Amino acid sequence: MLVIGLTGNFGTGKTTVSKMLAELGATIIDADKLGHELIQPDTETHREILAAFGSSILKPSGEIDRNKLGKLVFADAAALNKLNQIIHPRISETAKQKIEEYRQAGIRVLVLEAALLIEANGLKHLVDQVWVTAAPEATIIRRLKNERGLKEEQVLTRLQAQMPSEEKAKQADVVIDTDCSLDELRTKVTELWHNLR
């Protein structure tokens, strides 16, 4: 089984590329979704995050409000580091188990989509290749303003909290420039996919 680690900064089109790979036949593990599952109420992770950040991050339902938590941690490097220390080891462990299950099931190509594949301890060593999505800052800002209604400063705060794209590219086996039309991107991804076969 070939395991591709797909990463890239906020707004670079990582999820779009992941969906295209799924359409071509890849099995996807989304680290972000694993994280969502891990922070559900009545889990150890939920209790630890609550102890670290207080009840102001909760919705009335008792679930963690990811927007409130995001605003808190992306504005404070120490808080982001604290959250990552709580959640990353658990995401890595869960991803490792799922990869093994898929290996046993005879899956041929698996994509681990993870924004912090390179930064998070324990994720990068689970993959055979690292693919990085990249786009210029101006494109990212335009996309996130249009698609998510974010303000420029919100986008920049998030980007500044992440490893620079150039650093990620240095550790990549494949860099996918997503500053193009969807059709052009699909052509690039399809070509990469056929080169795997």
Task: Identify the pLDDT of residue 11.
Answer: 93
pLDDT values of the chain reduced to their tens digit, one per residue, 197 residues: 999 999 999 999 999 999 999 999 999 999 999 999 999 999 999 999 999 999 999 999 999 998 899 888 988 889 988 999 999 999 999 999 999 999 999 999 999 999 989 988 778 999 999 999 999 999 999 998 888 888 888 888 888 888 999 999 999 999 999 999 999 999 999 999 999 96
Evaluate if pTM is beyond 0.85: yes
Task: Identify the pLDDT of residue 99.
Answer: 97
Q: Which residues contact 137 (CB under 8 A, 6 or more apart)?
A: 159
Task: Identify the pLDDT of residue 147.
Answer: 85
Task: Identify the pLDDT of residue 26.
Answer: 98
Task: Identify the pLDDT of residue 90.
Answer: 93
Per DSSP, the residues of the chain read -EEEEEEE-TTSSHHHHHHHHHHHT-EEEEHHHHHHHHTSTTSHHHHHHHHHH-GGGB-TTSSB-HHHHHHHHHT-HHHHHHHHHHHHHHHHHHHHHHHHHHHHTT-SEEEEE-TTTTTSTTTGGG-SEEEEEE--HHHHHHHHHHHH---HHHHHHHHHTS--HHHHHHT-SEEEE--S-HHHHHHHHHHHHHHH-
Greatest pairwise CA separation for the chain in angstroms? 50
Map out the domains of the chain with their CATH numbers.
2-196 (3.40.50.300)
Whether the Cβ atoms of residue 80 and residue 164 lie closer than 8 Å to each other: no
Task: Identify the pLDDT of residue 197.
Answer: 64
